[in-house]
Structure 1
Amino acid sequence: MSKRSKARELALQMLFLVDMNPDVDGDAILHMIQDRIDDPEVSRFSWQLFSGTQSHTEEIDAAITAVAKNWSIKRMAPTDRNLLRLGCFELQHLDTPSSVVINEAIDLAKKFGAENSASFVNGILDQLKTSDQAKN
């Protein structure tokens, strides 16, 4: 697993943790990330993914809802919901190639999600990528 893949995995786990336990303090999350990733650059990337996703959740959820036909954010499985948020943040706010973002999200969905999570996440992120390209 690449260092950036590990950073994404940990960011996803922290997003899931906060989704299930909203009272978890951001400083605690930062310390957990730093404790689990020795490389300061990779740790910063994981924190950037987590904190960026958290600070843009409202706009991210609106973007996901706009393309997720017949799905509300609350109806989505927590793993899928947080993977979509993470992927959407990275697509919209970082310079990572969209193919990398989507492939990484699919891998995480296969590892942590349900049987259909990978195809669900792929479909939504692909639509988000397409809608973002149409805006530019």
Structure 2
Amino acid sequence: MKKRSKAREVAIQMLYLKDLNPDAGPASIHAEIAKQLSNRELEQFAWILYSGVMEHRAELDEKIVQIAQNWSLARMAPTDRNVLRLGAFELIYTDTHYRIVIDEAVELARLFGNKLSGQFVNGILDKLVPAQNREASPGQADSAE
């Protein structure tokens, strides 16, 4: 498994945990990330993803709901909802190329969701790609993917 893919997988697991267990505190989440990732750089990457989604969760949820016509967040499977949050965060707040973000999100959706999760996530995230990013070249393509 690619290094950053594993960090994304752990971030999704922590988002899912927090989604279903709102009382889980940042310290316990951070400790669990450290326990699952032996590499300090990957641990930091997973924490940035997790904490970034949590910081911008209301905004991300709003954007997702606007695009996911006829789908409320409550109607979405928790895994799909959190993969969308993570993907939306990376698309909007990081310089990871949108193709990498969408590919990684689709893989996570397939891993944790049902047989239609990948298509669902792909369709929504594709609509969230900022127009200026579609024009840009893969600049800092996640070489450690």
TM beyond 0.5: yes
Take 1:22 and 1:63, find their aligned partners in 2: how far apart are those partners? 22
Take 1:119 and 1:41, find their aligned partners in 2: how far apart are those partners? 31
Match of 2:89 in 1: 89
- Report how many residues are paired: 134
Percent identity of equivalent pairs: 50
Take 2:53 and 2:120, find their aligned partners in 1: how far apart are those partners? 19
- The unaligned stretches of length 5 or more in structure 1 are none
Letter aligned with residue 35 of structure 1: K
Letter aligned with residue 123 of structure 1: G
TM norm structure 1:
0.95
Match of 1:48 in 2: 48
- SS of structure 1 residue aligned to 2:69: coil
TM norm structure 2:
0.89
Match of 1:133 in 2: 131
1:38 pairs with 2:38: yes
Change (3 A) 1:115 1:45: same
- SS of structure 1 residue aligned to 2:71: coil
Take 1:100 and 1:46, find their aligned partners in 2: how far apart are those partners? 16
Take 1:104 and 1:5, find their aligned partners in 2: how far apart are those partners? 7
Letter aligned with residue 131 of structure 2: Q
Match of 1:77 in 2: 77
Take 1:107 and 1:11, find their aligned partners in 2: how far apart are those partners? 14
Alignment of 1:1-136 (within 5 A): 1-129=1-129, 132-133=130-131
Which structure has the highest helix share of the two? 1
Change (3 A) 1:99 1:135: closer
Take 1:97 and 1:83, find their aligned partners in 2: how far apart are those partners? 17
Root-mean-square deviation (CA, aligned residues, Å) is: 1.4
Take 2:22 and 2:32, find their aligned partners in 1: how far apart are those partners? 16
- The unaligned stretches of length 5 or more in structure 2 are 135-145
Take 2:133 and 2:39, find their aligned partners in 1: how far apart are those partners? 36
- Deviation of 1:133 (Å): 1.5
Letter aligned with residue 98 of structure 1: Y
- Deviation of 1:135 (Å): 9.8
